[in-house]
Amino acid sequence: MRYVILAGTMALAAAMLVFAVFSAPIARWRVTRKLSPIHVSAYHATIEPGRIYAPSYPDSLQTLRKELKAKEATLGPDDAALAPLLERIARASDQSMVTRLEYRLGTAERCYRRALALWEKALPDEDPDLEASYKRLGDLYNAFFRPLSALPYFECVLEIRAARLGDEHPSLRPMLHTLAEIHRRAQNYQDAEALYLRSLGITEAARGPYHDDALEPLRALAAIYKQQERYEDAETAQWRILDIAPHPQSVQGLAHVIEQQGRSAEAEALLQDTLKSSETRGRRHVENAARLKEQLADVAARDGQIEKAEALYKEVIELGMTGKTGIPPVSAIQRLVKLYALDDRNEEIERLRGEMDAYMGPQDEQTFGEMFDLIFETGRRQAADARGNEAP
| Contact residues for 45 (Cβ-Cβ < 8 A; gap 6+) | 63
Give CA torsion, residues 130, 136, 138, 142, to 10 deg: 170
Give CA torsion, residues 64, 65, 70, 71, to 10 deg: 70
Give the percent of the chain with pLDDT over 90: 33
Q: What one-letter code names the amino acid at 336? A: L
Residues 286 and 349 in one domain: no
Within-domain flag for 184: no
| pLDDT computed for residue 386 by the predictor | 79
The confidence band for 7, taking pLDDT boundaries of 50, 70 and 90, is low
Residues 366 and 316 in one domain: no
**Tally of domains in the chain:** 2
Within-domain flag for 14: no
**If you ran DSSP here, which 8-state letter would residue 144 be given?**
T
Residue 45 reports pLDDT greater than 90: no
CATH number at residue 298: 1.25.40
Within-domain flag for 54: no
Within-domain flag for 226: no
Residue 377 reports pLDDT greater than 60: yes
CA distances from 278 to 97, 249, 296 (A): 49, 12, 14
Residues 302 and 338 in one domain: no
Q: What one-letter code names the amino acid at 37? A: P
Within-domain flag for 171: no
pLDDT in tens, 291-335: 888 889 888 888 888 899 888 888 888 888 776 666 668 888 888
The confidence band for 38, taking pLDDT boundaries of 50, 70 and 90, is very low
Please give the residue range of the domain that contains residue 280.
246-327
pLDDT in tens, 239-289: 999 999 888 888 989 999 999 999 999 998 988 888 877 655 555 667 778
Residue 227 reports pLDDT greater than 90: yes
Residues 299 and 280 in one domain: yes
Q: What does pTM read for this prediction?
A: 0.69
Task: Give me the long-range contacts of 184-189 (CB less than 8 A, separation at least 24).
Answer: 184/220, 184/223, 184/224, 185/147, 186/147, 186/148, 189/224, 189/227, 189/228
Within-domain flag for 145: no
- Domain boundary at 304, 327, 350, which? 327
Give the Cα separation of 288 and 334 in Å (integer).
Answer: 19
Query: pLDDT averaged over the chain?
Result: 79
Do the beta carbons of residue 218 and residue 240 sit within 8 Å? yes
Exposure string (b/e) for 249-288, b if CB count within 10 Å is 16 or more? ebbbbbbbbbbeeebbeebbebbeebbeebeeeeeeebbb
